[in-house]
Each structure stands twice: as structure tokens, then as C-alpha cells.
Amino acid sequence: MGEQDNAEPAPTAAAPATVGVVGAGTMGIGVAQCFMEAGHPVVVVDPDPDALGSGPERLRAGMKLARMLGRRPRRAGDTAAAPVTWSAELADLSDALFVVECAVEKEPVKELILRELDAVCGPETVFASCTSCIPVTRLGSFTGRPDRVIGTHFMNPAPLKDTVEVIRAPGTSEDTVRRTEEFLAGIGKHGVVVRDAPGFVTNRVLMLTLNEAAAVLDEGTADAATVDQIFQECFGHPMGPLRTADLIGLDTVVDSLDVLREHTGDDRFRPTPLLARLVAQGRTGRKTGGGFYPYPEPGTQIPAPTHAQRVPQGETSHG
């Protein structure tokens, strides 16, 4: 079994269900924080010792940021923050009633995880994938319980975003949808249900926008900050497409585009050369200290630069 972090929760009349999170990356840690602060015991599983080892500190940093921004944990009554268990073994999720899969956006990886979860979890456990683009029907086919598989597309950073895109496949049962909505409501999230399709609503539209914004930058039409300024000031976006891509992670953007191209056959989803170059250079956004913009420290959540602080195009394009 993995090691526990935090004290035991205060006893309650009906103990909150254990929630599993697969993946200790940015999204997995954020999702774990949401459930832990709502009083659910959480088990985070990741085979990468570096991700697992840094997980507790990154979780504490996320909690600190949320408090600084005035986001109070949503808890039932006097329920304390629940314990988080860190493990490298999916078998440690055998008692979880709700598992959120937050692995990388690569179908073979998700297939291996879902097949093993199907073998170790009880028949009532819901598998909620935080997939960005892979159809939930496809993910459900990797299990013997497609009725218990659903998409829960949390936005990044998960603790600060109140809405979750919930993807219902044709085989997803009414009970699974109901239970998912109840789990989300219990952590202060509003689930918006959409039908299954590659990229669903969010990323079917967003990934094209990010890809085209990178193409505009690469062609020299405008520098990165100007592209983002137009979206902020003309359309009212909190941040422009290039800062959004840096926040998501350019490697995740490229993986999502590849999945969309594979499942739709639409060549518009082919990653633009600039995106491919940046990922090849290891410049995948905030988490690595640089993407379309430089960041002082990897993973730092800093305010978006103003137009006056924009980075010259040559620096963002080629580093």
C-alpha cells in the first residue's frame, strides 16, 4: 500500500466514498485536491516515482494557491480535509467507488489502465475519464462495464474551475450519469452533460483555435502577446489562446490534435509546425518554464503578461 498524507478525517455518520485518481500530473493533483478538500479519502496512483514523490508538495501548493485566491474548500458540515494515499499500484484502488483517470492523452496508455482497473475494482465502481478528446465509447470498450464509463473533462486548474464537461456515451447508464453528477455536486462542481464525439464540445472547438493561433504566430501575422490581446480585448477571453495552450501544456495540445485527426480524419487537426518544434525542444508551457512565453519557474502560475510586456515573436517561435 502507498503512504498516507494528512491526518485521519473526523468520524461522520456516513463516511464519504473513497475516490481514486490515476495520474499525479497537473490535472490529477488538481482533481485529487477537489475531492480531498470536500472530505473524500483519495488514493492517487502513478507509476512514475518522480511524479509520485513530488505529489504531496504540489498538492499543498495547490491548496495554498486556492486559499490565496479566496477559494474555500467545499465540505459537508464539519468534515475535515480527508487523507490522501499515494501509490504506484492500481490494485490500491480496489475500494474506490469513483475513479477519475487522468493519464496522458494516449489511447494505448488509457487502455492498459482501464483494463487493469476493470480487474481490480468492484462492479459498482464508476470509471470517469478526464480524457481531452478520445471518445468515451472507445474507452468503455476496454472494460467489461461500458455502462459504468463516463467522461469527466475537468478544466485546468481543476480547483478553480466550477464547471466540468460530462460526456455520456450511448452505453453509459442513467445511474452512472446520476452518480457522477452527485459526486461533482458534492465537490462544488456543475456538470454539463454532452453527447459523445471526438473532442466533445470543448476541445473539438478549442484545439482548432489553439492550432490556428500558433499558425498565425509562426507566419508572422502578429506576436504572441498581440494574438492573445485581441482575444482578450475583442472577445472578452480571460486569457488568449497561446497563454491557454501554455497552461494546458503544448505536449497535451499536440496529443489532443493527433487524437482528433485520427478519429475525425480531418487534416485541420494536424499540429502546426511551430507546436511540433516547441514540443520537440521540451518547451511545453508553464510546467517546463517556457512555451509560447517564458515563465520564471516550471509550474509557476503567474499572471498573464500585459500587451506592454509581450515577448518578441522570434523568442516565442524559436527560442
Tell me the three state secondary structure of residue 115. Answer: helix
Domain-embedded: residue 32: yes
Domain-embedded: residue 275: yes
Q: Are residues 186 and 154 in the same domain?
A: yes
* Per-residue pLDDT tens over the stretch 48-57: 999 999 999 9
Of 156, 165, 211, 256, which one is the catalytic site residue?
165
Q: Are residues 172 and 213 in the same domain?
A: no
Q: Are residues 149 and 292 in the same domain?
A: no
Instruction: Return d(Cα 240, Cα 244) in angstroms, integer.
Output: 6
* Per-residue pLDDT tens over the stretch 149-203: 999 999 988 999 999 999 999 999 999 999 999 999 999 999 999 999 999 999 9
Would residue 156 show up in a list of annotated catalytic residues for this protein? no
Q: Are residues 31 and 105 in the same domain?
A: yes
* Per-residue pLDDT tens over the stretch 57-106: 999 999 998 888 887 665 544 445 678 999 999 999 999 999 999 999 99
Q: Are residues 169 and 241 in the same domain?
A: no
The predicted structure's pLDDT at residue 10: 42
Task: Write down the pTM of the prediction.
Answer: 0.83
Q: Are residues 78 and 221 in the same domain?
A: no
Instruction: Return d(Cα 288, Cα 294) in angstroms, integer.
Output: 9
Q: Give me the domain span that covers residue 255.
A: 206-312
Domain ends where: 154, 169, 195?
195
Tally of domains in the chain: 2
- 86: phi then psi, degrees, rounded to nearest 5: -110, 130
* Per-residue pLDDT tens over the stretch 95-136: 999 999 999 999 999 999 999 999 999 999 999 999 999 999
Of 129, 153, 156, 211, which one is the catalytic site residue?
153
Sign of the dihedral defined by the CA atoms of residues 119, 154, 78, 67, in that order: positive
Q: How would you write 36-72 as a 3-class SS string? A: HHCCCCEEEECCCHHHHHHHHHHHHHHHHHHHHCCCC
Please compute the mean of the pLDDT values over residues 278-306 and round it to a whole number.
Answer: 78
Instruction: Return d(Cα 306, Cα 318) in angstroms, integer.
Output: 21
Instruction: Return d(Cα 70, Cα 29) in angstroms, integer.
Output: 19
Please compute the mean of the pLDDT values over residues 284-306 and round it to a whole number.
Answer: 73
Task: pLDDT band for 5, please (50, 70, 90 cuts).
Answer: low
Domain-embedded: residue 201: no
CATH number, position 166: 3.40.50.720
Instruction: Return d(Cα 257, Cα 228) in angstroms, integer.
Output: 20
Q: Are residues 276 and 158 in the same domain?
A: no
Domain-embedded: residue 254: yes
**Is residue 262 over pLDDT 70?**
yes
Please compute the mean of the pLDDT values over residues 202-219 and round it to a whole number.
Answer: 97
Q: Are residues 23 and 148 in the same domain?
A: yes
Of 132, 156, 256, 317, which one is the catalytic site residue?
132
Q: Which of 69, 78, 34, 15 is nearest to 187 (CA)?
A: 34
Query: How large is the C-alpha radius of gyration of the chain?
Result: 20
Q: Are residues 143 and 252 in the same domain?
A: no
* Per-residue pLDDT tens over the stretch 130-154: 999 999 999 999 999 999 999 999 9
The predicted structure's pLDDT at residue 81: 60
- 293: phi then psi, degrees, rounded to nearest 5: -125, 155
Q: Are residues 61 and 183 in the same domain?
A: yes
Q: Are residues 243 and 288 in the same domain?
A: yes
Would residue 132 show up in a list of annotated catalytic residues for this protein? yes
Mean pLDDT, the chain, integer: 88
Domain-embedded: residue 318: no
Domain ends where: 145, 175, 195?
195
Q: Are residues 223 and 284 in the same domain?
A: yes
Domain ends where: 169, 195, 221?
195
